[in-house]
Amino acid sequence: MLAQVDIIEQKKYKSALIVGWNVEAANLYDKLLSIPALGYDVRGFVRPSGVKEKSHYKNVPIVGDISNLKEQIEKLNIEEVLIVLSPPEKQYLSSIISICQQSGVNYRIVSDTYDEEYAHIIRDVIRDVWSTKDFGIRRIIDLIGSIILMILLFPLFVIVAIAIKLESKGPVFYSQKRYGKNGRIFAVHKFRSMVHDAEKRSGPVWAQKKDPRVTKVGRFMRKTRIDELPQLINILKGDMSFIGPRPERPFFAETFKKQIPFYMNRLQVKPGVTGLAQVTVGYDETIEDVKEKVKKDLEYIQHANSLKMNLKILGKTVITVLAAEGQ
């Protein structure tokens, strides 16, 4: 039984909680149990409205309710939360998502319909196993692609580095703290496009068109997106992917999440060097622009495994670079 594997065997599985106490939740568990290759170790159920008469299902216990969900995630070392809510339980959805985000765990909202006994859910899980795990197909593409591009573009790196040093004093590269997948903070790398210590006096400032802090070389790099090339290092390290939501600075992200519903849901996947929001929405100068980009980010997350969408994004990115349409 998946939930009863020994300690050595459990290392092969992703620890999970099922949030929901209904027929759909039981059906989902049965499906995961019947296909061990999916790699889920379901360690408990969470009953949103509170624990009542029944304390377990097939020897998997109800470990609590919403009030102690965060505690159980930490106690049971949970990596993913599967949310399966019946209509009366939908009122708890926003609270559950918030707790998952605070705890830094992945979560998946499962449909509450029967739909071929959850065949569509199993297909989604299988796609996830193959394309979004650290050593899945997407990760392999990121690794190979970043290595090849770094080798091919090395001469350009040298030319850009010389141009930056000739125009202004300061380092060639610029690193900045950003939010990554599940809110993990990492340092994103870029070619320096502004004067040295641009924010030393002003503090974090929202970038703007015709920013006086941007150097002449920096303006050209931004137009052609050359300043983003060092992010190949981030891809190689596993902080980022080629395609995904733009990684935001913690200072701004904490502000945006108070003004934009589901803003932090962007952190369900690795951030990308390019993405649907970046190639379809213009320069974000207002909070309304950011809201529009968030919509596109969430749309991408929904269809992240679509080959057609990813190729379309890459195509638009190439056009933007060649036409120098960046900002």
Q: What is the pTM of this model?
A: 0.58
Digitized pLDDT (tens) for each residue of the chain, 327 residues in all: 344 433 333 445 788 999 988 877 888 888 888 777 677 889 999 888 776 656 788 888 888 888 888 898 999 999 889 988 877 777 788 788 888 888 888 888 775 433 343 344 444 544 444 344 444 678 888 999 999 999 999 999 999 999 999 988 889 998 999 999 888 899 999 999 888 776 665 566 666 666 778 889 888 988 888 999 999 999 999 999 999 999 999 888 888 888 887 788 888 889 999 999 988 886 677 788 888 898 888 888 877 878 888 999 999 988 877 776 655
**Every domain range in the chain assigned CATH 3.40.50.720:** 2-131
Q: What confidence tens digit (pLDDT) does each residue in 107-139 have?
A: 887 754 333 433 444 445 444 443 444 446 788
In whole angstroms, what separates CA 15 from the centre of its chain?
Answer: 19
Q: Are 5 and 39 in contact (CB under 8 A)?
A: no
Pairing state of beta strands 272-274 and 241-243?
parallel
- Please identify which residue in the block is written with the tokens 């900045």: 176
**Interatomic CA distance for residues 181 and 265, integer angstroms:** 10
- Please identify which residue in the block is written with the tokens 């920013």: 211
CATH class of the domain comprising 2-131: alpha beta
**Interatomic CA distance for residues 241 and 239, integer angstroms:** 7
Which pLDDT value is given to residue 173?
A: 92
Residues forming beta bridges with residue 5, ordered by sequence position: none
Q: Which residues, other chains included, contact 219 with Cβ-Cβ below 8 Å and sequence gap of 6+?
A: 193
Which pLDDT value is given to residue 23?
A: 79
**Type and span of the H or E element at 314:** helix 307-322
Q: Are 26 and 47 in contact (CB under 8 A)?
A: no
